[in-house]
Structure 1
């Protein structure tokens, strides 16, 4: 019976504990600022008014900052005019309190240490607040908030706290930037294809883009049946298969080639996606795999490919209708637990906004989603490939090649994306124009055109911040939904007449 009593005592103790703070340090730092306004610039880069525990100290710091940033002097006398005459602080008039702060000021040398201590204590208070909210919500959870949503919300708040708590921003020297550029060039020299970004496994596409660049949002769009999902799975598997890493002196693992890939498959199940990749790699039609119409040789290839696939770092999330907030939380978790070098989302229009009213305006919702994906790419420092649908206006034109204006809700997608690529297969449209059998001349002309475009595709790069636009021809094997580099006819062996 002693255990419940001990637990109750512990709970009571937690309720009576005081929040972490150090009022004396806050007073010392504020006094230093009032004595020498230059002290403010030693802490202003990381310290905010909200980091102070005492409300009066928050007001003093905020008003001092406003005066100093306006080029004026912050002193007990100038600050007094911004407070009520009858205000009492620590049982004394506000002017007397300000004068005492200045009289007990610390030296400028200690100011930065004091500022960081104030900020650290504020971070600890925020952690306690998040923990208390987690407990309260878990006890009294709303009906429309399942435990998974509570976990994602807690993860988001903790990650936001970690990011806002960072103090490594600001200016860097040119020599630091130069070192980073040299490190990038060195990594590119050692990587497959000597690319600055991650290789897609498609040589011609890599040459046009320099690989997939870190922190880029890459939109891959196309009409249905063009093969955008197939191209995305090809690239994802190529990156994961080429993965190589090495352990650093500090014990961390660094990717030196290929990468760890996260794939959000919002439309297809994980099993369907795996079947596609097996079909691509084993060169066995996915329809035959599903129906079991395979011979012994094909089955052997499937087994070999499956064994290889088990070793590649490709992680699939098959949650349909996922919100941008949940997607972001899960991507962060994957980065933290397994590592992450590339993220693929199939497809953008199936993501839902985080706000309750977001669905009322789809354009605003898509804007929030694309902005969130770009922010995620920068935050995790990985390329994010987001697939996108195209509007039906393509079908009404004679030239079916897609354009930027064909993107659904194109304003935000085009604006936020660093790269916009379209998958286009002329064969798909030409196939539908087959003339009647009695039209011999038309049939011969159509067949000649079909021979020209058979098993060929284009990736049209319509926007690229860091490189040229243009078209990249690729080989497309429809039976296996597989993209490869297009073999130039000049390199094919001569045909026997």
Structure 2
């Protein structure tokens, strides 16, 4: 039997050192590693099943020689070369690693330990479990080491720790492909015990979208002054009143400001006077006597500027576990950051990463994530009704791709446009258009709301204007007048400055 040659070029990484305190050795299953590699070299079915479970990470194996052999097998598989003792031997020899694994004799010995690939799935999952345990020990050791470092920023430490734990846990959450029979049974079971969607406050909008669905990422986008925050607060308050636990992650406003807007909506007090502490004596008495109307709502608010996706996941996970939150609103997406350390990265790539993470959070916790989004200034320079289109989503086309639903808010009177572009040329005063530009569940088209009470942070149903349905290939805005002289927003006829409206 050939003896492996010592590897003199090996560099020690502190993060990979595992303490053997109290005589403990790292979790491992060497005998099962042997069985897996042997089965992969004698049975193609075993090869396919092992790669499906273990993926392309040779570090799943504890023994270095087994890592080299598995990596060689993966390379042969990717090159469409048949895998057996001879091809694996040739691949290792070409990499100058055959002697390191113990030579041809050890490869033969691996295959002699098994006669088939029976039970290989069980063996792989045990080996994977041992790997996750080792990775957890590694992460914990690194956290302990860096926690003693006085120069380490505490927020960097927390974020890196959470990210490392998330990366490790992904191995436990990996799903095996299902056959159609299993998926069919799952569909029937879901139809018998459906997870109810969360209703919208607005009747016609609810009919169009069928409410808010679990696992969905919903994007609500508009230019400043359209009332995005007021709109989602109407939805959040209504859903909480119906008994659905709601989370609100605010990156722009404080929790006190948000509460002030909820109070304005409930009691019909101008939000500007609440913010400026100009309440009358009688209004203060009403707020004191009717406090339970607000306090009892299952609505949970977290305010924090520059919240990262990791922090958001931690907060949302806590809400889901402790309060059973079903839907989370995020105000707004462009204020979120991918990580603490990514301060000077490409912003478009960062927004793409954020939108993917928000979609992943919705799926992991089986909730609805509704994120507000800003639009580019192209809307302002456009002529006509200035309707937003999907290409106006600011800083990233990935938002459109990741979202299940995209809706745009438009209040034409903000731009001093007094008539809608319908045949009747109906007035726009006190009206808001919600354009559903993308949906996978409902119908595309426009829904109209009454926005005449925005100073009280209220949107209501508008019953005297019909909805507009679109076909899938209909573009809900014309850009032919994109180079027209832009119309400047001015004060509207209600006597208050639209720039003071919530985003």
Map of 2:292 onto structure 1: 307
Map of 2:388 onto structure 1: 402
In structure 2, how many angstroms separate the alpha carbons of the residues matched to 1:123 and 1:149? 23
Map of 1:225 onto structure 2: 225
In structure 2, how many angstroms separate the alpha carbons of the residues matched to 1:36 and 1:370? 42
In structure 2, how many angstroms separate the alpha carbons of the residues matched to 1:81 and 1:216? 49
Which of 428, 433, 450 aligns to 1:458? It is 433
- Structure 2 portions without partners, runs of 5+: 1-17, 419-423, 467-503
The alignment's TM-score, normalised by the length of structure 2, stands at 0.78
- Cα distance change on mapping 1:462 and 1:185 into 2, 3 Å: farther
Map of 1:416 onto structure 2: 402
What does 1:60-459 align with in structure 2 at a 5 Å threshold? 60-67=69-76, 72-84=81-93, 87-88=98-99, 93-105=102-114, 107-143=116-152, 145-146=153-154, 148-180=155-187, 183-184=190-191, 186-187=193-194, 191=196, 197-243=197-243, 258=244, 260-290=245-275, 291-294=277-280, 296=282, 298-299=283-284, 301-303=286-288, 306-354=291-339, 356=341, 359-396=344-381, 397-430=383-416, 452-459=427-434
| Alpha-carbon shift at residue 293 of structure 1 (Å) | 2.9
Q: Deviations over 1:433-490 (max 9, x none)?
A: 8xxxxxxxxxxxxxxx999434322111222233322110112212311112223499
Does the CA-based 8 Å contact 1:358-1:364 persist in structure 2? no
- Cα distance change on mapping 1:61 and 1:335 into 2, 3 Å: same
**Counterpart secondary structure, 1:115:** helix
**Counterpart secondary structure, 2:223:** coil
**Counterpart secondary structure, 1:316:** strand
In structure 2, how many angstroms separate the alpha carbons of the residues matched to 1:473 and 1:15? 69
In structure 2, how many angstroms separate the alpha carbons of the residues matched to 1:413 and 1:72? 40
Does the CA-based 8 Å contact 1:29-1:106 persist in structure 2? no
In structure 1, how many angstroms separate the alpha carbons of the residues matched to 2:220 and 2:323? 25
Q: Deviations over 1:414-451 (max 9, x none)?
A: 333322211122333338x8xxxxxxxxxxxxxxx999
Does the CA-based 8 Å contact 1:83-1:94 persist in structure 2? no
- Structure 1 portions without partners, runs of 5+: 1-10, 192-196, 244-257, 434-448, 491-497
The alignment's TM-score, normalised by the length of structure 1, stands at 0.79
Aligned residue-pair number: 437
In structure 2, how many angstroms separate the alpha carbons of the residues matched to 1:302 and 1:95? 83
Does the CA-based 8 Å contact 1:279-1:480 persist in structure 2? yes
In structure 2, how many angstroms separate the alpha carbons of the residues matched to 1:390 and 1:12? 52
- Whichever structure has more helix as a proportion of its residues is 1
- Cα distance change on mapping 1:46 and 1:306 into 2, 3 Å: farther
- Cα distance change on mapping 1:410 and 1:25 into 2, 3 Å: closer
In structure 1, how many angstroms separate the alpha carbons of the residues matched to 2:213 and 2:150? 42
**Counterpart secondary structure, 2:436:** strand
**Counterpart secondary structure, 1:170:** coil
In structure 2, how many angstroms separate the alpha carbons of the residues matched to 1:156 and 1:304? 46
**Counterpart secondary structure, 2:118:** helix
Instruction: Kindly indicate whether residue 34 of structure 2 is the aligned counterpart of residue 27 of structure 1.
Output: yes
Identify which range, 118-127 or 374-383, moves more after superposition.
374-383
- Compute the RMSD of aligned alpha carbons: 3.1
Map of 1:436 onto structure 2: none
In structure 2, how many angstroms separate the alpha carbons of the residues matched to 1:489 and 1:350? 35
